[in-house]
Structure 1
C-alpha cells in the first residue's frame, strides 16, 4: 500500500540536526514566536533578514595601518636623534638620556604595533549566520559545519512564516574582536563574546 503524505508536508523543512555539544557553544532555539540566541530574545515578527556570509579579517587595513605606524614612529625617533645630536654640544649626558628614552619608547611602540598586526593576520575567516531585526541590532553565530548554518537559515525563515514552529540547536559562540573584522553597516551585535557597538559607515 502506498504511503500518502499529509497536505503541505513538503513545505516544512526537516528538523535541524543537533550537533555534538561545543565547548563554547550557544543555544539557538525558536519557540512561542521568539528566536533565542543564548540569552537574547528576538521576536520572529521583528526579524527582517536571515543570511550566511564569510566574516573576513581586516588584513589589508591592518597591514596599511602597521606601515603608517612604523613610518611615524621611525620618523619621530630619527628626528629626535638628530635634534639630540645637535644639542649634545651643550649637554652630552642629558642628550644621551633623552635619546635612550626616545628609542626605548619607539621600540615599545613598534612591538605593540607588530602584536596588533599579527593578531589581525592570524584571525581566521569564519562562516557565520546573521539575523537582522527591524531595530539596530544583529545576532551572529558560527559553526564548524557550514551546512548546518545554511540549513538554519531555512529553518528560521520557516519559523517566521509558521510562528507555531519550534526547534532547538547548539551552535558555536562567535568569539572575535570586532575591530579585526569587516561587519558592514551593522550597528549592534549580540550573541557573541567580546562584541561592541559598531558605527554606521
Structure 2
C-alpha cells in the first residue's frame, strides 16, 4: 500500500548519523567555578593566563642534536676501531668480534638518531590554546580552525569573570611529545602520560 504525505509536506532529509565516539574523545567544560579537561580540574580562580599561539616543532634543535650525535657516535666507533685494531695486532686477530659489536652498536645508535630526527622534522605545527594556572600546570587545546580556539578563549575568560557561566565542548585528546616542540614561555606541564593536549572537535 502506497503511503501518501500530508499536503504541504516536503521531504526533509534525516539528520546525519553521528560518527562513533572515538576512544580519545573527552569533554572540556566549565561548571561550579572549575575548568574540567577530561578528568583534570582547574579552579577558575587559579587561572592566570589564557592565550593562543602556534606550537612549532624544534626542527633546528633536532637537526643540531642529530649532527652532534652522529659526530659522537662516529668518533667513538672510529676510536674503538683503532684501539681494537691495535689490540688485534698485539693478540693476533682477537679483536675482530669486538669491532663487529662496536659497529653494530654504532649503526643502531645512528638508526635511533635518524628516527628521532625524522619524527621532529615531520611533526606538524599546532595552533593551540593554553590555560595556565598559578601552580606549575597548564591545560592545552588545539583545533584545525583557529577561530574555534579564539571563541574558546572568550568563553573561558567570560567564565572567569562571571561565576554563573557554564559551558561544555567536545574535544579529542592529542598526544604531544614535549621534547619535539617549543612551548612558548618556559612552561612546565604536569599530569597524564607525557604532555597531553586536546583537539577541539
User: What's the TM-score once normalised by structure 1's chain length?
Assistant: 0.81
| Cα offset, 1:142, TM superposition | 1.3
Change (3 A) 1:119 1:126: same
1:136·1:187 contact (CA, 8 Å) conserved in 2?
Answer: yes
Residue 76 (structure 1) aligns with = 76
Question: Cα distance, 1:26 vs. partner?
Answer: 2.3
- Counterpart position of 2:7: none
Contact 2:87 2:94 in 1 (8 A): no
- For residues 38-92 of structure 1, the C-alpha deviation after alignment (integer angstroms, 9 at most, x for no partner) is 1111111111111111111111111101100101111111112222222322224
Q: Which residue of 2 aligns with 1:5?
A: none
Aligned to 1:187: 188
Kept in 2, the 8 Å contact 1:29–1:169? The answer is yes
Q: How does 1:1-201 map onto structure 2 within 5 Å? A: 23=22, 24-183=24-183, 184-190=185-191, 193-195=193-195
Contact in 1 for aligned 2:44/2:160 (Cα 8 Å)? yes
CA 1:189–1:140 in 2, change beyond 3 Å: closer, same or farther? Answer: farther
Q: Report the Cα offset of residue 22 of structure 1.
A: 6.7
Secondary structure of 1:52 counterpart: strand
The answer (yes or no) to whether the contact 1:22–1:171 under 8 Å persists in 2 is: no
Say if 1:130 and 1:139, in contact at 8 Å, map to a contact too.
Answer: yes
Report the 3-state secondary structure (helix = DSSP H, G, I; strand = E; otherwise coil) of the residue aligned with 1:70: helix
- Distance, in Å, in 2 between the alignment partners of 1:170 and 1:193 is 21
Q: In the aligned structure 1, how far is the partner of 2:134 from the partner of 2:174? A: 22
* Structure number, greater radius of gyration: 2
Q: Size of the alignment, in residue pairs?
A: 177
Distance in 2 (alpha carbons) for counterparts of 1:193 and 1:143 = 21
Shift of 1:21: 7.9
Q: SS at the partner of 2:144? A: coil
Structure-2 residue corresponding to 1:10: none
TM superposition score normalised by structure 2 = 0.81
Give the unaligned 5+ runs of structure 2. Answer: 1-18, 197-201
- Offset at residue 193 of structure 1 (A): 5.0
Q: Which runs of 4+ in 1 moved over 6 A?
A: none
Give the direction of change, closer, same or farther, for the CA distance of 1:92–1:79 in structure 2 (3 Å limit): same
